[in-house]
Copies of this chain bind each other. A is one copy, B any other.
């Protein structure tokens, strides 16, 4: 056997004296590398495994504070068995918070447990009482003057051999002595977990209903672009439907070079307005307003008027340029060039997008470019905009967004960003970790019960829920889902109810409420898409869903269960075409049950298994379910209940579950 040297030991350092270990603190995103997200009014429920060697009793506290303050607030964590501890703290203001867990050996509680056990076994505890007295005396040294005298009193009783043993024991075990001792713990050797961050966002980051509108289509007669003034005329319409964020595609001058024509044709006609995402013309770029829409003043007026209707205006941030954008001339170094000196347009071979030049985020001058892009956002914030929808963020560096959003939200946590990303899950989630407050999702492509259940479980039951806030758009100018193309009005209703109740944030692109369903064949593109032409709409078209949408949005506002995603649960129905799920408030004071017929063509019926026990209802207890959409009221009993959904009349039902049912006991003369 090879001889190896006997090691020379380094002496144990002071840091080794801490006996407590803290592990698996939850919630934490990527082990604390990224903040969790909350809104004011929410609680953060923190759990951790906390333990030490041996059998000593531990004291474990949850610590938390707004990050800017320097003093921790503390609340004791509750021991749940098997080294598991839990506690909650409230988020009360719109600013970053942080939290941590601290634990130490509670020698006094350990002592109490010891004397309790020994006394129960009939053993003498004389020596132990003296040890306890010494501990109480030491705590007295740390105490305020009022408490000090109390502690000194107790110590002297514990140490007094002339008192009866039973009385001394009782003093040692008294809850009020424990409470007193807890006020002056000996925290030497305490272990503290590195602190974790909470990104606190405004309520509408969590709970919002979006409506997307092209202001240039706001005019009701053909041939001329609508203006902000025209769009103001639509504000009551949007507000009546109950939306709270009105999102506008880019409002900037549109390039003329390689402008796309109607239905995405390569050559535009003389009257074709071009895609709003081909940003920039001789008149200006990202900080200018398209002259057909109005002036900057008109825009500000529009934003203010929207506010009076309870609507926030969201702008589109699309960091790309048309060939006519002023930056192309002033900052050619911000773009990629071909060997012949020309600028590279966007491509996804074999597709070419000659009307769009991507910015080169890696160019030599990248730091100035990033700065200027950030200043564009600040410019629109200056006009009162606090919500931004970011176009294709996944084609720009993740660290750019981290920097931009971080810089802005540090002093303006009221500003939020929605990521319009449709890409692989890791990148979707990385954008959310980088700071995006909401994100588009795969919802439009999740149609069967299994698809929806699986996707929502990922979004609401895994770590994802701590940092990724989904926004379920039912359609967009780019996506007219096949389900809507072929399912008719019942399909629109089903998808609306799914989006608005599965996700606390959802969105509708205008035309949806009119059940517009005509696509370019074989695609998800709208025929005669607004992206490339002006559209007029009959907002009162028969069969429209405006009243239905108003009702759904009112139900959302009146039922706090629908403003949150953490408490979503799916319930089994013995017919897979009926999807049934519930949402509740944490205290179960508001219980919503949703049933959707996923088949827009046929009526379906089935038996639902509703876990009444989880809501404190007995197996044979009656309860009321009130269909908030159809206004019907039903008496149910126990877990098994019948559902029937006919797409021609009610493709979906949203039930409010009321646990209390009137009985003879409510009758005045009973008793």
Contact = CB atoms under 8 A, between A and B. Distances in A.
Given A12-B370, A121-B350, A349-B114, A427 B4 contact: no
B117 A350 contact: yes
B407 A9 contact: yes
A31 to B, nearest CB: 4
A123 interface: yes
Given A117-B349, A399-B18, A426-B82, A4 B411 contact: yes
Contact of A12 (B371, B411, B424): B371
Contact of A395 (B54, B338, B403): B54
Interface residues of A, number: 76
Interface string A403-441: 100011011101000000000111100100000000000
A127 B371 contact: no
Contacts of A451: none
Given A7-B407, A382-B6, A53 B350 contact: no
Contact of A398 (B19, B120, B395, B396): B19
A7 B51 contact: no
A326 to B, nearest CB: 21
B54 A394 contact: yes
A19 B339 contact: no
Interface in A1-39: 1, 4-7, 9-12, 16-19, 21, 23-24, 30-31
A514 interface: no
Interface string A335-372: 00011100000011110000000000010001100110
Nearest to A115: B349
A375 interface: yes
B427 A7 contact: no
Contacts of A398: 19, 21, 52-53
A130 interface: yes
A397 interface: yes
Given A117-B350, A410-B7, A367 B12 contact: yes
A534 to B, nearest CB: 32
A262 to B, nearest CB: 25
A131 interface: yes
8 contacts: A9-B371, A18-B399, A21-B398, A53-B396, A123-B350, A130-B339, A131-B338, A134-B339
